[in-house]
Amino acid sequence: MSRPYEWRRMTLEQRRWVLSQRQGRHQPWHSPPHRYDEGRQHYHITAACYEHQPHLGFSEKRMDDFTAAWLEVLKTSTTEVAAWCVLPNHYHALIEAPMIAKVLFELGRLHGRLSRGWNQEEGTRGRQNFHRAVERTIRSDGHYMATLNYVHHNPVRHGYVEKWTDWPWSSAGAFLERVGRDGAEAIWRDYPVLDYGEGWDDPEI
């Protein structure tokens, strides 16, 4: 069974094959992201597996299944998902939501439901799989765009891939298709990540 942590050891041909198998399976259902609007409520949502263990990354199928279920929860509890990324032991999403408490509640329910199945599958009854999801309020246009870059850059930041588009469990590929390479590079230059995430998104997880 190939696990997502092995992505860094795959050959280019193996990565292309995995990406081809997932093409179209996790296309974002949302519209292209709008610019930040002070009158709308935007948040950066993140959650990590308990003690940063790769419970999400148990298998590629689990990554696929979790991503599909997670996006469905976001679809029904938010008004927009501008960017998202799932890694073997944590996830990120940039969302617009009028009721953030509802989003966090629904994510908690998802964590609990999936954890029961995973523990049964692995024979680890009672194991805690997740820390609770937390939100950070987006404060400005610059914060919004830097967060979008940060979410899409996360697999590169953690050393899984060298390019955004090489990671299958992310909206980066669809984002690049919409804005184009030149547009994405301009956004990256204008809204750099810099030290975003230092102190709470450990580079080793």
Listed as ranges, residues in the chain with pLDDT below 50 are 1-2, 24-32, 36, 200, 203-205
CA dihedral 2, 51, 133, 154 (to 10 degrees): -50
pLDDT, position 7: 56
Residues 6+ apart with CB under 8 A from 41: 96, 97, 98, 100, 137
What is the Cα–Cα distance from 204 to 29, expressed in whole angstroms?
31
Q: Which residues are paired to 136 by β-bridges? A: 44
Looking up tokens 């909206």 gives 171
pLDDT, position 195: 72
pLDDT, position 31: 44
Concatenated DSSP letters of 157-185: HTTS-SSGGG-SSBSHHHHHHHHHHHHHH
Tell me what the pLDDT averaged over the chain comes to: 84
pLDDT, position 197: 63
Beta strands in the chain, from DSSP E residues, in sequence order: 42-48, 80-87, 90-96, 134-137
Domain boundaries, the chain: 41-190
Asked if 184 and 153 touch (Cβ cutoff 8 Å), the reply is no
Asked if 168 and 18 touch (Cβ cutoff 8 Å), the reply is yes
Residue 145's closest CA among 104, 194, 190, 101? 190
Residue 126's closest CA among 134, 118, 135, 137? 118
pLDDT, position 194: 78
pLDDT, one tens digit per residue, over 13-63 is 666 655 655 554 444 444 445 554 555 799 999 999 999 999 999 999 999
Domain 41-190: give its CATH superfamily: Transposase IS200-like (3.30.70.1290)
